[in-house]
Amino acid sequence: MQNVIPNIENADWNNIAKSMHDKGYAILPNLLTSEECNALKDLYDAPATYRKTVIMERYRFGSGEYKYFNYPLPDIIQQIRTNIYPKLIPIANTWFKALHIDKQFPLQHHQLLAQCHEYGQQKATVLILKYNAGGFNTLHQDLYGDIYFPIQIALMLTEPEKDFTGGELVFTQQVPRAQSKATVINPRKGDAVIFTTNFKPEKGTKGYYRVNMKHGVSEVKSGQRYALGIIFHDAAS
């Protein structure tokens, strides 16, 4: 826990911003120690912490299970959410300007939450996900109401090729009048993957245009895969 804030402060935010602009995702390696990942993973079975459990098959979201945390969030999650948000502001605000969207995001996370509350979005969106062999997460966007922040984070709590096989993180980019392009990444335990929630700007001959993006998880072939999703806006329900 004592290293999380320095790890955020010391990360190469120029490089992360470049990767976000180019690809719509970026990896912040080793944000968490293996012990911190294990502690978060162990929270999965602590019932009092959650407001809602979703069996993904029921909604055809995929195969697996996830749980939404309740406020107050566990300290380490609260710290990550509050301290990473300001680092993402230049990226989000640059994107909205480039696309001529008439909105700029406030500099501090509590100010974004105040906007959510005004629109009736009060519920925590941070979630922990668990996939067994055969599990997967269909391509989606994590929007929960009118107010949204366009960038989110997934923390990898298990190690590929050791705790599980398969289960890659998948991103698709849909450019106007074309089919989608998919990219697959294999982040390691402790890595934070930063990615766009719904779109990014792409430079064209006549300025910037909007590329829609979705994310999901490919089928887990063996073992168990856990991840923690940090979304910056609150949900209406």
Ligand X SMILES: O=C(O)CCC(=O)C(=O)O
Contact set with ligand X (CB under 6 A): 129, 137, 142, 154, 169, 215, 217, 227, 229
> Is there a contact between 155 and 76 (Cβ–Cβ < 8 Å)?
no
169 binds, among Fe ion, ligand X, none (CB under 5 to 8 A by kind): ligand X
User: Is the link from the previous residue into 6 a cis peptide, with omega within 30 of 0?
Assistant: no
Q: How far is the CB of 213 from ligand X (least distance, A)?
A: 12
Q: Does 191 bind Fe ion (CB under 5 A)?
A: no
Q: How far is the CB of 225 from ligand X (least distance, A)?
A: 7
Cα separation of 213 and 197, whole Å?
A: 7
Q: How far is the CB of 127 from Fe ion (least distance, A)?
A: 8
Q: Considering the complex, state which of residue 106 and residue 145 has its C-beta at the smaller distance from Fe ion.
A: 145
Structure-token pair, residue 94 = 């640059």
Q: Does 142 bind Fe ion (CB under 5 A)?
A: yes
87-126 mask for Fe ion (x: CB under 5 A)?
----------------------------------------
